[in-house]
Amino acid sequence: MKLHVDRSGAGPDLVLLHGWGLHSGVWDEVLPDLAQRFRVHAVDLPGHGYSHAAIASSFDDAAALVAACVPAGALVCGWSLGGLFAQRIAARGAASLRALALVGTTPCFAERQDWPHAMKLATLQSFAAGLRANSVATLENFVRLNALHGARGREAIRTFARRIAARGLPSVAALEHGLAWLREVDVRDEVARIAVPAAVIHGARDALAPVAAGRWLAARLPSATMTELPDAAHLPFFTHPREFLAGLEALGG
């Protein structure tokens, strides 16, 4: 069982990992610039996009599928749920990475007693409850949260609402698995083992992964820089492409 990967460009390998409910088409606006510098591998996560048949019920199984798509020595860029996979792969040495870019992500998406920098558990539970009733409406509501309070919010909502179904909607089962990972996975104890250089790129108005989580990552990763965008929400690669590209550029080609 393999994941779908769109490849373009030439140069050092760059792997792009998208977030929950979407697909690798989220990178369309920055892909032309990236392909001028990198050999880009844009992955559709398990159960998403053209990887709809690659269902993984456990996070570890899904991470193994993703790791199999990472060439040796690649820069891995993970956004949101994709960033959670990137951290797990880097920490456990499932692939030989050169560097890591973590965009609008966190080591733990759900609030814990000792982890306030996260979504309320009730928010994730409400998405789970809505999936079986109306998965399309649930995904559209999720897109709105991605853009909430951020620059270019209306444009981002229109663009990503249109893009959701461009490769077919994920099945309810795949979406439920992904929500379970967002709710349950906590890689905070693994972060210190990520030895490669890292760039943390985060919007200060992010409603899904609070910026405090990005600051926590930048402070605890052994070798990291932090780019904090004051008026960005959860989609900095779309709303602030120049800053996003500069963050990857800082990691070198």
pLDDT of residue 95: 74
Strands 97-103 and 74-79, sheet pairing: parallel
Whether the pLDDT of residue 165 is over 90: the answer is no
pLDDT-above-90 percentage for the chain: 91
What CA–CA distances, in Å, run from 225 to 15, 65, 116, 156, 201?
19, 28, 22, 26, 9
Q: Counting beta carbons within 10 angstroms of the beta carbon of residue 61, is it exposed (0 to 12), middle (13 to 18) or buried (19 or more)? A: middle
Q: What's the mean pLDDT in 63-81?
A: 97
pLDDT of residue 218: 97
Which residues are designated catalytic?
A: 80, 206, 234
Instruction: Please tell me the pTM assigned to this model.
Output: 0.97
40 vs 251, which has greater pLDDT?
40
* pLDDT bracket for residue 246 (50, 70, 90): very high
At residue 26's C-alpha, the angle toward residues 24 and 16, to 5°, is 50
Mean pLDDT of all residues in the chain?
A: 95
Domain boundaries, the chain: 5-249
Whether the pLDDT of residue 3 is over 90: the answer is yes
Domain 5-249 fold: Rossmann fold (3.40.50)
pLDDT-above-70 percentage for the chain: 100
pLDDT tens for 205-242 read 999 999 999 999 999 999 999 999 999 999 999 999 99
Radius of gyration of the chain (CA): 16
pLDDT tens for 87-114 read 999 999 877 899 999 999 999 999 999 9
* pLDDT bracket for residue 253 (50, 70, 90): low
